[in-house]
Structure 1
Amino acid sequence: MTTLPPVPMTRPKLTSLARQKLPCSPRRIPRSQLIKEKGDIDHYVEVNFKGLSKEEVAAYRNSYKKSICVDMLRDGYHKSFTELFALMEKWDALREAARVRSLLWLQRPLEEQPDKLDHFYYYLTRAEVAERKGYFEDVYNNLYALACYFNNSEDKWVRNHFYERCFQIAQLIKIDGGKKEAEAHGHMGLLFEEDDQLLEAAEHYEAFHQLTQGRVWKDETGRFLNLLACESLLRTYRLLADKMLENKEYKQAISTLLKASEIAKEGNDKRMEGEASYYLGLAYLAAGNYETALTVFNTYGEISTNLDDDLSLGRAYEAIARVLQSQGEMTEAIKYLKKVVKISQNNFQWLDVVRASTMLGDIYNKKGYYNKASEYFQQAFDTTAELTNIPLMDETKVHYGIAKAHQMMRTVSNYVESADLASLDYLLSWKESRSDIALDPVVVILNIQQ
């Protein structure tokens, strides 16, 4: 979404006069002082400026917000006034609710934001004029300009109001082949997606996608609307599938991600197609369908290779390793995880190094190859220490400690079983120092074999 450039405002007389006394003092003035100042101003105007018109007196006496409203009514923009008044009431209600809830004003009052009031006046009145003439495309453009202007975290609810107005008006536009209607569906999809109403968002994105099929329409940044529709729909389908997987609704999740995969292919974007394959593979893996998951992940790996995308290829290899590990094929899983470590190190993806090293350590630990397990757990621990990631460092430290304990346990066991004087001396020495125990020849041979 782009923010439109500042618009040269043409203000009515009353608003222009009121604008001259801005900006107001940002400090909070006691009500008693305001009443006294108003009386002083009235007396001063009466004594010194008897020739002032009613509009000029009103401009100095009223707030800028009131001047805007008066101008709207006086110039016949009753519909614009009604909409603005409703928005101002909601604005005040939201501020009051925020004050009650957290004792903090989350939004400044409109009286302190004359530029926003100017935009309300300018675009609402232009939209009203266009609506009277039946120029619905101009109505849409003016309302969309307001949505763009209020596209910020503080005023998102105002943006959403104008997205809804745009959607209503777009249904009346019949001369553009449905482009404005498609855009409006896209905006409504975003509105519902941000509110975590994913089913409603998917409905609007599906309509957005259907209306843009076979079209070469572009948005204001030059991006094809059909590609945007595909990306939005894929994102929503993935979020829906995530919730389905959390509830163990595997069939529904796979069905949803299969639709996403088909849409990705239609979008003619290999990177997007690869992403869809990856999430589909994860769904098959969660459902225990390992063969299909492996096939899908291999497809993702091929796409990543063709795109020369090492990061995606590393993610594909890690996913393949997880499938192989679930199938009990540990040797093959180790080969893929070592590739992941190498790719991640070459691309400075240290968190990926930690994750792959930890997986390798787990596999070796379960196989009883404690020396190798210690090696990879230490690599994970050293990497987290460099990242100064304390929670992750604590986790890898535990894994490393367990592997070292297993490694020492075998040596201690062999010394105990030997039951000779030399072995006893080694054990007593280790008990006193608590350092790494010297390996006996049997353990050395085992470590070499690993």
Structure 2
Amino acid sequence: MTTQPPLPMIRPKLTALARQKLPCSSRKISKSQLIKEKDDVDHYLEVNFKGLSKEEVAAYRNSYKKNVCVDMLRDGYHKSFTELFALMEQWDAMREAARVRSLFWLQKPLEEQPDKLDHFYHYLTRAEDAERKESFEDVYNNLYALACYFNNSEDKWVRNHFYKRCFKIAQLIKIDSGKKEAEAHMHMGLLYEEDGQLLEAAEHYEAFHQLTQGRIWKDETGCFLNLLACESLLRTYRLLSDKMLENKEYKQAIKILIKASEIAKEGSDKKMEGEACYYLGLAHLAAEEYDIALTVLDTYCKISTDLEDDLSLGRAYEAIAKVLQSQGEMTEAIKYLEKVVKIARNNFQSLDFVKSSTMLGDIYNEKGHYKKASECFQQAFDATLELISMPLMDETKVHYGIAKAHQMMLTVNNYIESADLTSLNSLLSWKERRGDIEPDPVTEEFRGSTVEGVSQNSEHLEELNRFPGDQKNQT
């Protein structure tokens, strides 16, 4: 949505006079005029200010805000005055509430913002004129222009007020086949979405989508309204499904995401269709429907491949790896994660690289391949240095430390099982320096066969460690 360009304002007499005394007035007084001698000043005052009318006195005495209101009433725009007065009261109430809460609000008082007052006068009076003539399309256009003008972080509440006015007026427009009504639903959906009322937003977006089906309407930027409707619905449905998944309402989440997927296909946008498949696949994964999840995610893979979108393909591979990992298919999961790592490295996606490397390290660590796990965690940790994220750095550091400890534990166990002089000397040397311990080349070959033994020995050691405590408890 774009802000309207500045208008050549046609001001009534009182407002035009009042505008001249504003600090921000464009009227310039020459330096020579300011330093006139006393006689010249007296003559100037006598000529220019002798016999001022009541209007001129009021224009210089009253505030600019009051002059605007007086002009509205004098020119017969009573509805515009009532609406502006209500907005000004709400404006002051919001400032007072911010002051009571001891909040520092940078918004200036309305009387100190003459440009905004000018826009109120210009568009509200034109909208009132159009309404008297029952030219509802002109009413809509003027109110929408005000909504665009106030579309900023400070004045969103004013924008929302005019969005609601536009929505009511759009219901009365019958000559455009419903285009204005569709736009009004879009704006109302945005209003509710920003306010976190997703169900209400979805209702308006659904109406927006229904009105634009089969139409080639475009907005002021040239974008098709039907495509905007599809995108808005998908975004809202995804946010709703996220809340449902948090509450473990898997069936409802899957149902709404299937609906989103159907709408995405209608939009004829392959990237949007792929995104819908991605979130639907994750929902099936959360519901432990692994086979369906793989089917849906495979569709996402094909779409990403056709679009030659490496980043989307990496997301698809990562999601498939999670499904395979949940099914216990670790070997297949590793293959997909290695593809993700390669894609992330080639596209300089450091965060994706860290995530995929960590997942890969977890699988290797679980399988007992501690050396590979250490390598994965180390490259993840090195990548966090580029991101300068301390929490992520600490997390990968812990993963790396655990994998290194497992790797050292396995090597020490191999030396102990060897029970020869060379192994004993290596253990003694390691105890003195407490650094990395190099694996024995002979025992390293049999590492895979000893992983299970290590876990059994660990369980046995835990029983022995608990034994003395049990004895104390018994005594």
Please indicate the TM-score interval, normalised by the length of the shorter structure.
over 0.9
Q: Which residue is 1:143 aligned to?
A: 143
Distance in 1 (CA, whole Å) between partners of 2:70 and 2:46 is 23
Distance in 2 (CA, whole Å) between partners of 1:417 and 1:105 is 72
Q: Which residue is 2:458 aligned to?
A: none
Alignment map for 1:185-224 (pairs within 5 Å): 185-224=185-224
Distance in 1 (CA, whole Å) between partners of 2:388 and 2:230 is 39
Shift in CA distance, 59/436, structure 1 to aligned 2, threshold 3 Å: same
Q: Note if contact 1:98-1:106 (Cα within 8 Å) is conserved in structure 2.
A: no
Q: Which residue is 1:298 aligned to?
A: 298
Q: Which residue is 2:435 aligned to?
A: 435
Identity %: 82
Shift in CA distance, 222/447, structure 1 to aligned 2, threshold 3 Å: farther
Q: Which residue is 1:395 aligned to?
A: 395
Q: Which residue is 2:10 aligned to?
A: 10
Please identify, of 128-137 and 415-424, the stretch whose mean Cα deviation from structure 2 is larger: 415-424
Q: Note if contact 2:415-2:443 (Cα within 8 Å) is conserved in structure 1.
A: no
Q: Which residue is 1:153 aligned to?
A: 153
Letter of the structure 1 residue corresponding to residue 425 of structure 2: D
Distance in 2 (CA, whole Å) between partners of 1:384 and 1:49 is 73
Shift in CA distance, 251/403, structure 1 to aligned 2, threshold 3 Å: same
Q: Which residue is 1:360 aligned to?
A: 360
Instruction: String of CA shifts for 1:6-40, please: whole Å, max 9, x gaps.
Output: 11100000000110111269xxxxxxxxxxxxxxx
2:75 matches 1:75: yes
User: C-alpha displacement at 1:422, in angstroms?
Assistant: 2.7
Instruction: String of CA shifts for 1:71-105, please: whole Å, max 9, x gaps.
Output: 00000000000000000000000011111113423
Instruction: String of CA shifts for 1:202-261, please: whole Å, max 9, x gaps.
Output: 000000000000111110111111110010011000000000000000000000000000
User: C-alpha displacement at 1:168, in angstroms?
Assistant: 0.4
Shift in CA distance, 6/48, structure 1 to aligned 2, threshold 3 Å: closer
| Secondary structure class of the residue paired with 2:192 | helix
Q: Which residue is 2:251 aligned to?
A: 251
Q: Which residue is 1:92 aligned to?
A: 92
User: C-alpha displacement at 1:424, in angstroms?
Assistant: 2.3
Distance in 2 (CA, whole Å) between partners of 1:255 and 1:443 is 55
Q: Note if contact 1:24-1:112 (Cα within 8 Å) is conserved in structure 2.
A: no
User: C-alpha displacement at 1:45, in angstroms?
Assistant: 8.8
Distance in 1 (CA, whole Å) between partners of 2:186 and 2:129 is 26
Question: Gapped runs of 5+ residues in structure 1?
Answer: 26-43
User: C-alpha displacement at 1:402, in angstroms?
Assistant: 0.4
Q: Note if contact 1:258-1:280 (Cα within 8 Å) is conserved in structure 2.
A: yes
Q: Which residue is 1:179 aligned to?
A: 179
Distance in 1 (CA, whole Å) between partners of 2:51 and 2:120 is 32
Distance in 2 (CA, whole Å) between partners of 1:4 and 1:159 is 13
Distance in 1 (CA, whole Å) between partners of 2:48 and 2:343 is 81
User: C-alpha displacement at 1:446, in angstroms?
Assistant: 4.7
Question: Gapped runs of 5+ residues in structure 2?
Answer: 26-43, 452-475
Q: Note if contact 1:95-1:106 (Cα within 8 Å) is conserved in structure 2.
A: no
| Secondary structure class of the residue paired with 1:102 | coil
Instruction: String of CA shifts for 1:373-408, please: whole Å, max 9, x gaps.
Output: 011111101111232222111110110110000000
Distance in 1 (CA, whole Å) between partners of 2:289 and 2:6 is 56
User: C-alpha displacement at 1:445, in angstroms?
Assistant: 1.7
Shift in CA distance, 49/83, structure 1 to aligned 2, threshold 3 Å: same
User: C-alpha displacement at 1:412, in angstroms?
Assistant: 0.9
User: C-alpha displacement at 1:425, in angstroms?
Assistant: 1.9
Distance in 2 (CA, whole Å) between partners of 1:335 and 1:265 is 30
Alignment map for 1:189-338 (pairs within 5 Å): 189-338=189-338
Q: Which residue is 2:126 aligned to?
A: 126
Shift in CA distance, 362/111, structure 1 to aligned 2, threshold 3 Å: same
User: C-alpha displacement at 1:299, in angstroms?
Assistant: 0.0
User: C-alpha displacement at 1:46, in angstroms?
Assistant: 11
Distance in 1 (CA, whole Å) between partners of 2:409 and 2:266 is 58
Q: Note if contact 2:300-2:316 (Cα within 8 Å) is conserved in structure 1.
A: yes
Q: Note if contact 1:410-1:443 (Cα within 8 Å) is conserved in structure 2.
A: no
Instruction: String of CA shifts for 1:313-363, please: whole Å, max 9, x gaps.
Output: 010010111111111111111011000111111111011111110011000
Q: Which residue is 2:379 aligned to?
A: 379
Distance in 2 (CA, whole Å) between partners of 1:103 and 1:326 is 49
| Secondary structure class of the residue paired with 2:445 | helix
Instruction: String of CA shifts for 1:124-163, please: whole Å, max 9, x gaps.
Output: 0000000000000000000000000000000000000000
Q: Note if contact 1:365-1:403 (Cα within 8 Å) is conserved in structure 2.
A: yes
Distance in 2 (CA, whole Å) between partners of 1:292 and 1:443 is 44
User: C-alpha displacement at 1:443, in angstroms?
Assistant: 4.2
Q: Note if contact 1:416-1:424 (Cα within 8 Å) is conserved in structure 2.
A: yes
Q: Which residue is 1:114 aligned to?
A: 114
Please identify, of 415-424 and 366-375, the stretch whose mean Cα deviation from structure 2 is larger: 415-424
Distance in 2 (CA, whole Å) between partners of 1:77 and 1:377 is 71
Root mean square deviation of aligned Cα: 1.8
| Structure 2 length-normalised TM | 0.88
Shift in CA distance, 104/45, structure 1 to aligned 2, threshold 3 Å: farther
Distance in 2 (CA, whole Å) between partners of 1:221 and 1:24 is 33
Shift in CA distance, 15/289, structure 1 to aligned 2, threshold 3 Å: same
Q: Note if contact 1:314-1:343 (Cα within 8 Å) is conserved in structure 2.
A: yes
Distance in 2 (CA, whole Å) between partners of 1:20 and 1:150 is 25
